[in-house]
Structure 1
Amino acid sequence: MTLDEWWRAYQLYTDYTELLDTQRLDDWIHLFEDDCLVRVMSAENDKAGLPLALMRCEGVPGLRDRVHAIKEVSVYAPRTMRHVVSGLRLTRQGGDFLATASFVVTQSLEGAQTTVFASGVYRDRLTPAGDRLRFAEKVAVYDGDLVVNSMVYPL
């Protein structure tokens, strides 16, 4: 693996967090392959090999449905989310890359103290798309058994 390949992965994660944190969800979708799989699941289910996920989106159409629900259907208190990602590790698998990174997501509701919403690990598969990388599979495994409140935005 080259420094350039690692840098492209780092840029992908930076774009991912910035687009979620600024709620630019229509742009966020473009970070994914058309046939992607996105899951958010508890560490307990992950360790037990259970497929149950708190959120599961198959392909870009599934991501578009999620974005539509966030913007047009769901009723929730206004909030600011902040994603912090660290410890990015890459290994090559064929033409793709397997990536792991730790994450912490904070949530700030109007009139309330900022809280840690979730922490955990990303286990992703990245695939080349021109001079950039995209997510072919994105799995967020959160540490606790529960998440605070409801999960409006993806981890």
Structure 2
Amino acid sequence: MSETTETVPGRAVGPAASLELWFRVLRLYTDYTELLDEKRLTEWLGLFEDDCRYTAISRENADAGLPLAMMRCEGVPGLADRVNAIENVSVYAPRTMRHLFSGLRAHHTAEPDLLSVEGSFIVAQSLSEEHTEVYASGRYRDLVRDDGATLRFAEKTAVYDGALVKNAMVYPL
């Protein structure tokens, strides 16, 4: 990726991240998907800033500027509450999730330590004794903080393409 300004449809962005920084961002997304897929949710919390925001919202609502989201968590305490619900409270059929992502773009923003990151995702779901199916697809529209040593999500937004997701949304996208 070059240091020049690139155009991302629908978003004003600054210069593209260097190749070295892009690889660090790629590692963050690889860790994100692996920790979710392997249900290592306590470790997954470590990928977020303390005052982060996580949102899973339909494309229809996102495009219309409507705030209604399938999942919204404020800060790591909100995410930790969701993790506790998944691990200790919620009742749901056992499932395996597999997150795939591609088209990763990382750009600098007006804040020197903040990156605007986008990429496409597909999440497949396998329920016991059923065929694997596409659970959701869409785009990540994120803000990632770089403290020089560690990258963390300041804002994680999963905009899924359909108006609904099949069954209940147990795990984050």
1:4 corresponding residue in structure 2: 20
| 2:158 match | 140
Structure with the higher helix share, 1 or 2: 1
Post-superposition, which runs of at least 4 consecutive aligned residues in structure 1 deviate over 4 A? none
Q: Deviation per CA, 1:108-143, whole angstroms, max 9, x where unpaired?
A: 000000000000000000001342210000000000
CA–CA distance in structure 2, aligned partners of residues 26 and 132 of structure 1: 18
Displacement after TM superposition at 1:68 (Å): 0.2
Give 3-state SS (helix, strand or coil) of 1:152's partner. coil
Letter in 1 for 2:63: K
Give aligned-pair identity as a percent: 61
Q: Which residue of 1 aligns with 2:79?
A: 63
| Deviation digits for residues 10-37 of structure 1 (CA, Å, limit 9, x no counterpart) | 0000000000000000000000000000
Q: Which has the larger radius of gyration?
A: 2
C-alpha displacement at 1:3, in angstroms? 1.2
Q: With structure 2 as the length reference, what TM-score do the two structures score?
A: 0.88
Quick check: which one's strand share is greater?
A: 1
Q: What letter corresponds to residue 92 of structure 1 in structure 2?
A: H
* 5+ residue gaps, structure 2: 1-16
How far is 1:2 from its partner? 1.3
TM-score (normalizing by structure 1): 0.98
Residue aligned with 1:85, SS: strand
Q: Which moved more, 1:15-24 or 1:130-139?
A: 130-139
- Residue of structure 1 in register with 2:143 after alignment: 125
Q: Distance in 2 between matches of 1:130 and 1:25?
A: 25
